């Protein structure tokens, strides 16, 4: 066990591959984020662990910090490589006008409105059954409010939210219902970060 684990972008082919696959991000952004990735990687083994993320104070105090960190890690894994790191952050690139007229037959970019909504949906849907159940909603609510609201009050908030969103009567929120509830929300603005200055 020696040397760095390959992150997939050491070669020019690696970078091109990235650009094609994640057409949401530009070359200079990739370089900048790579340098951020290496500075977070204290173990210097080409991957990040959950501890590496928790070292970021502003993320550690975020009520949903743990869920967000989980979003970076592939199913059942404890390490994320640079590709995975990029993939998650790519959801937050702002949607630019010129991208709207891009090739309709190509893969949908990760920062499309639909993919951004999917990202938010997955933060709720812990068991990945494509439905947000009452329990899952309660869990997230509890993380966001801490100890400041009683179980009863929180229960009512959850019930009311599901009632308003649920259209097929299964007492859970499917992705389609989620999208419908948020159709008036400016998702592009709420889920975009300017990462290059």
Partner 1 sequence: MEKEIAGQHRGYFSLADIMYFAKKGCEAVAEDEVTQRFTSEELLSWNLLSRTNANFHRVSWQLTAVWVIGILIRYCLLVPFRIFLAFFSILLLVSATTVVGQFPNGRWVNYSHGCCYRENRPQKGGICVANHTSPLDVLILASDGCYSLVGQVHGGLLGLIQKSCMQTSQHVLFERSEMKDRHLVRKREHIADKAKLPILIFPEGTCINNTSVMMFKKGSFEVGGIIHPVAIKYDPRFGDAFWNSTKYSMMTYSFNVLTSWAIVCNVWYLPPMVKEEEEDAVHFANRVKAVIAARGGMSVLPWDGGLKRKKVKESFKEEQQKKYCQLVTENGFMGNGNVY
Residues that bind partner 1 (CB under 8 A): 31, 33, 35-36, 39-40, 53-65, 68-69, 71-72, 88-89, 91-92, 119-120, 123-124, 140-141, 144-150, 152-153, 156-157, 160-161, 165, 173, 178, 181-182, 185, 187, 190-193, 195
The number of residues making up the chain comes to 197
Taking the complex as a whole, how short is the minimal distance between the CB of residue 21 and partner 1, in angstroms?
Answer: 19
Q: Shortest CA distance to 88 belongs to which of 71, 100, 105?
A: 71
Three-class SS state of 163: helix
Taking the complex as a whole, how short is the minimal distance between the CB of residue 155 and partner 1, in angstroms?
Answer: 9
Interatomic CA distance for residues 61 and 84, integer angstroms: 23
Residue 47 backbone phi and psi in degrees, to 5: -135, 160
Cβ nearer to partner 1, comparing 42 with 102:
42
Cβ nearer to partner 1, comparing 15 with 123:
123
Cβ nearer to partner 1, comparing 55 with 102:
55
126 exposed, middle or buried (CB, 10 Å; 0-12, 13-18, 19+)?
A: middle
Interatomic CA distance for residues 19 and 25, integer angstroms: 7
Angle value at C-alpha 136, between 134 and 178, nearest 5 degrees: 75
Taking the complex as a whole, how short is the minimal distance between the CB of residue 169 and partner 1, in angstroms?
Answer: 18
Taking the complex as a whole, how short is the minimal distance between the CB of residue 26 and partner 1, in angstroms?
Answer: 14
Cβ nearer to partner 1, comparing 2 with 57:
57
Taking the complex as a whole, how short is the minimal distance between the CB of residue 172 and partner 1, in angstroms?
Answer: 13
């Amino acid at each position: 066990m020696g040397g760095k684990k390959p992150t997939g972008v050491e070669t020019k082919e690696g970078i091109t591959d990235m650009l094609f696959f994640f057409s949401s991000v530009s070359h200079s952004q990739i370089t900048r984020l790579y340098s951020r990735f290496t500075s977070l990687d204290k173990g210097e083994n080409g991957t990040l662990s959950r501890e590496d993320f928790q070292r970021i104070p502003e993320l550690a105090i975020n009520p949903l910090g743990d869920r967000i960190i989980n979003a970076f890690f592939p199913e059942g894994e404890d390490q994320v490589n640079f590709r995975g790191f990029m993939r998650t952050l790519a959801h937050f690139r702002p949607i630019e006008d010129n991208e709207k007229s891009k090739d309709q037959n190509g893969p949908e970019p990760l920062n499309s409105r639909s993919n951004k909504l999917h990202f938010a949906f997955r933060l709720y849907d812990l068991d990945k059954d494509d439905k947000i159940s009452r329990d899952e909603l309660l869990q997230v609510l509890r993380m966001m409010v801490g100890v400041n609201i009683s179980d009863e009050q929180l229960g009512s908030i959850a019930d009311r939210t599901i009632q308003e969103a649920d259209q097929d009567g299964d007492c859970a929120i499917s992705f389609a219902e989620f999208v419908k509830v948020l159709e008036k929300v400016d998702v592009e603005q709420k889920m975009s970060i300017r990462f290059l200055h």
